[in-house]
């Protein structure tokens, strides 16, 4: 799954290398404004919402027989977006803008990526069991129930960790925005 992220990141860098696309310029302008990140509360809620949606998507992929394919596409799209943003921010705002983007957006997203990657391993186990049940004559008795229970518990732990990370990293981002702005 991490290879899928890198497989998307490099084309994203290539697509955004000119910095001349309208979407890239809008993203660079958004991530270049300190006032977007100076309020701790909205920033924390945005990070919590993003974490919930991404972790929930990974959870749902576990209950689909072709879940690993969807997870690979998800991580590749995430890498494509990260690379596109980074290249455009570097072109528009320079190295200082890229550093601020890293603190405001990339560091929380990277922490969330590791949580999603951890959860994706358990989702892939459950998905593999479902695939075996559908196409291979059935999974061993009790395997699917145990894998679903493990995935559910890991999802709760990942949500708790994402919440704690959102609180800490949004405070760091708000502090950096006030320091810059």
pLDDT in tens, 89-146: 999 988 888 888 888 889 999 999 999 999 999 999 999 988 888 887 776 777 889 9
Q: Where are the domains of the chain?
A: 2-14+24-180
Q: What is the pLDDT of residue 181?
A: 63
Task: Transcribe 128-158 into DSSP letters.
Answer: HHHHHHHHSS-PPTTHHHHHHHHHHHHHHHH
Lookup: tokens for 105: 């957006």
Burial of 20 (C-beta count, 10 Å sphere; 0-12/13-18/19+): exposed
Phi then psi for residue 142, to 5 deg, are 85, -10
Give residue 25's pLDDT.
92
> Rounded distance, CA 155 to CA 177, Å?
31
Cα separation of 22 and 171, whole Å? 31
Sorted by sequence, the CB contacts under 8 Å of residue 48 that are 6+ apart come out as 162, 163, 166
Would you give the DSSP letter of residue 106? I
pLDDT at 56: 98
pTM, two decimal places: 0.90
**Length reported for the chain:** 181
């Amino acid at each position: 799954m991490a290879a899928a992220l890198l497989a998307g990141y490099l084309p994203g860098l290539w697509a955004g290398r000119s910095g001349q696309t309208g979407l890239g310029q809008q993203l660079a302008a958004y991530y270049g404004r300190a006032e977007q990140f100076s309020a701790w509360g909205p920033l924390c809620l945005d990070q919590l919402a993003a974490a919930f949606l991404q972790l929930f998507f990974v959870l749902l992929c576990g209950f689909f027989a072709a879940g690993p394919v969807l997870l690979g596409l998800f991580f590749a799209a995430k890498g494509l977006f990260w690379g596109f943003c980074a290249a455009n921010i570097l072109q528009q705002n320079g190295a200082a803008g890229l550093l601020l983007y890293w603190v405001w957006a990339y560091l929380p997203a990277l922490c969330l990526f590791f949580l999603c990657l951890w959860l994706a391993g358990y989702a892939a186990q459950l998905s593999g069991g479902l695939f075996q049940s559908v196409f291979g004559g059935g999974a061993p008795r009790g395997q699917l129930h145990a894998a679903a229970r493990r995935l559910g518990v890991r999802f709760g732990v990942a949500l708790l960790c994402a919440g704690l990370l959102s609180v800490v990293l949004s405070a760091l981002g708000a502090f950096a925005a006030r320091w810059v702005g």
